[in-house]
Amino acid sequence: MTRPDAAISNDPLAALDQVRWDLAPDCYRDTEQVPMLLRLLRQGERMAGRLPDRLAMLSPVGDHLSPATAEALPFLIRLAQHQDTRDRVAVVALLIRIARTTDGGPATLYGQDMVQVGRACRRALRGDMDGWFNLLGHPDRPFRRHVLVLLALLSRLHGGTGIYSRRWDALFNSDSREQFAERVVSIAYEGAWEARSGDLERQWESWLLGGGAVEDEVVRTAWDHAKVPYWIDDDDVTTARVLMESQVPGSRQSRRSGAEPGSAMG
C-alpha cells in the first residue's frame, strides 16, 4: 500500500497522484474514479456522493471493500482532520462506514483477497489517533459526535492499543455537561457491541448521530451500561455520579487544580 507523506505539505491530498491507482480497483473494478472523487469530496461537491459505494459497497449478500479503499484511507483521515475540508461530517461518515465494514469482515468481491484487503484497511485506520482526540472538543456538534462514533469503532478494531483508556480519560476531562453526556454514550455504544446487544447499539448510535439533546435519563442509562474499567479510581467514579445527579459538569483537571466543579464550564 502506498502511504502519502504527510510532511510533503499541508495539503490533505498531497501525494494523491503518487498512488498506483491502476493497481487498486474500487468496488466497481474502476481504477480512475476514486482520486477524482476524493478531490471533489474535499470541495464538498455533490458528485462525491458516489465515493462511498466505490470504497465500501453495501449489499444483501455481504458488504465489500476494495484495494482502492486501503489506498484512499490515509487521504480520508487527513481530509476529515483538515479544517479547510468543506463537509467534514460526510468524510467521517464514510470512515465510519469503512470501519464498520472492516470490523464485520468484508465479503469476497470479484476474486479479490479480502483477508489482505481487510488487513490493509485495519492498518490504515490506525492513522493519527491524536488528531481524532484533538477534535473531541470541536464546537460543531454533529462533527464532534461522528468522531466519537468513529473512535468507538476504532477502539473495537484495535483493542489493546490504548484508545479505550484514552476515551475514559477524555470523559473525565469533559469541558461541559454535553461533552460528558456524549462521551459516556459513545462508551456505552461500544459496550453494547461487545455485549452483542444490537438494539442498544442502534439506540446509542441513533442518539449520537441524530444530534439528541442532553437528558438526565440518557446520561444515567449510558453510565449504567458503560462498564467502568478497573484502573479508574474511586474518586473519579464518585465525581461522575455526583455530576449526573447534580447536573453540574466538572473535569478531573479542574478538581485536581482546586477549582470548584463546573467553575470553568459552559
Task: Tell me the pLDDT tens digit for each residue of 14-49.
Answer: 999 999 999 999 999 999 999 999 999 999 998 888
Between 154 and 261, residue with greater pLDDT:
154
The amino acid at residue 62 is: G
Beta-bridge partner residues of 64? 57
Angstrom distance (rounded) from CA 6 to CA 137: 23
Confidence at residue 264, expressed as pLDDT on a 0 to 100 scale: 32
What is the residue extent of each domain of the chain? 1-127, 136-266
% of the chain residues with pLDDT over 70:
83
Put residue 66 in one of left, alpha, beta given phi > 0 → left and psi -120 to 50 → alpha. beta
- The mean pLDDT of the chain is 83
Angstrom distance (rounded) from CA 205 to CA 219: 14
Task: With beta carbons less than 8 A apart as the criterion, state whether 94 and 52 touch.
Answer: yes
pLDDT tens per residue, range 221-244: 888 888 788 788 888 888 777 766
DSSP states of 17-50: GGS-GGG---TTS-SSHHHHHHHHHHHT-GGGGG
Task: With beta carbons less than 8 A apart as the criterion, state whether 141 and 209 touch.
Answer: no
DSSP 3-state assignment of 64? strand
Angstrom distance (rounded) from CA 147 to CA 183: 10
pTM listed for this prediction? 0.85
The amino acid at residue 79 is: L
Cell numbers given for 159: 483493542
